[in-house]
Amino acid sequence: MLKVRVRKNQGEFSIQAGFTIEDSGVTALFGYSGAGKTSIVNMVAGLSAPDSGVIEMNGRKLFDSEQGINLPPEQRRVGYVFQDARLFPHLTVKGNLIFGMKLAPKGSLYVDFDEVVDMLGIGPLLSRRPARLSGGEKQRVAIGRALLCSPSLLLMDEPLASLDENRKSEVLPFISRLSQGFSIPILYVSHMLSEIEKLADNLVLLENGGVAASGPFEALKSSRTLAEMRGGGESRGALHALNIKLAS
Ligand SMILES: Nc1ncnc2c1ncn2[C@@H]1O[C@H](COP(=O)(O)OP(=O)(O)OP(=O)(O)O)[C@@H](O)[C@H]1O
């Protein structure tokens, strides 16, 4: 289980957020553009530090301001898939995947190379370099590389954002199979309700750097206002409406 309780001021923007995510399944971190989603994910990954708070994964402190704990990213056992694939251009697909495996501490590899390649359908791509891959293929390789570091948690920050609709529908089914297939909890950032509906078991609704609501997606989904959001694109207006509904 991941427990997050953080505060951070960045410029004029303040984050004060607390939530937990379960040992398995997909938890969507959902909110309009600028709500603080990436900032929070970066704190979990260790790419930036909260001003204060605690981040704990399976009882292991990744960050604790009072105890002076701030583990570097490579010690956190967290895989990160960004909006753009960020593959190493000079390495083949196989080289990129093996790089992920080398990041896992010795004796802690539990994700199998062939299983990942099969599940993501990237076997035919192994000898290619990233320049010869489509956007969707690159993202599948990036997911594979993140998985192969055998993480305790997979962070995905709008992994479909740079893809057109066809490529999105090519990658989405792979993501929904991941969490079950590898028993790795996923924290999935998006501002698109259409993606969240297909993927999320749990939801953390973020607004202005704070958590407006959180819980099982099914429970929040049954709210009339969330039903009205279906088919909507960008979440800002709809999220605002949902908060009114939750508060009433
Ligand atoms: N390093 C920084 N210094 C100052 N302000 C920052 C910094 N990083 C982000 N911000 C501000 O913090 C707020 C939250 O940004 P963040 O990127 O976390 O939002 P987001 O919900 O991920 O947005 P998006 O969906 O557009 O990616 C924004 O107002 C942004 O301008």
Dist. CA 43 → ligand 1 center (Å): 12
pLDDT reported for residue 236: 47
pLDDT in tens, 198-226: 899 999 999 899 998 889 988 887 655 45
Q: Kindly report the average pLDDT of the chain as a whole number.
A: 86
pLDDT in tens, 9-59: 999 999 999 999 988 889 999 988 889 999 999 999 999 999 999 999 999
Least confident of 62-71, 187-196, 218-227: 218-227
Q: Which residue has the least CA distance to atom 7 on ligand 1?
A: 10
For residue 120, give Cα distances in angstroms to 172, 219, 233: 11, 31, 27
pLDDT reported for residue 201: 92
Local structure of 109: helix, strand or coil: coil
Domains and CATH numbers, the chain: 2-89+152-247 (3.40.50.300)
Dist. CA 39 → ligand 1 center (Å): 6
Least confident of 87-101, 130-144, 171-185: 171-185
Pocket residues: Cβ below 6 A from ligand 1? 10-11, 13, 31, 33-39, 191
Task: Kindly give the number of the ligand 1 atom that is closest to the alpha carbon of 31.
Answer: 21
Positive/negative CA dihedral, 49, 60, 217, 6: negative
ipTM of the complex: 0.94
Mean pLDDT, rounded, for 92-100 = 94
Mean pLDDT, rounded, for 124-149 = 93
Task: Give CA–CA dist 147/100, Å, rounded.
Answer: 8
Q: Give, for ligand 1, the residue of 6, 29, 38 to mutate: max count of ligand atoms closer than 8 Å to Cβ.
A: 38
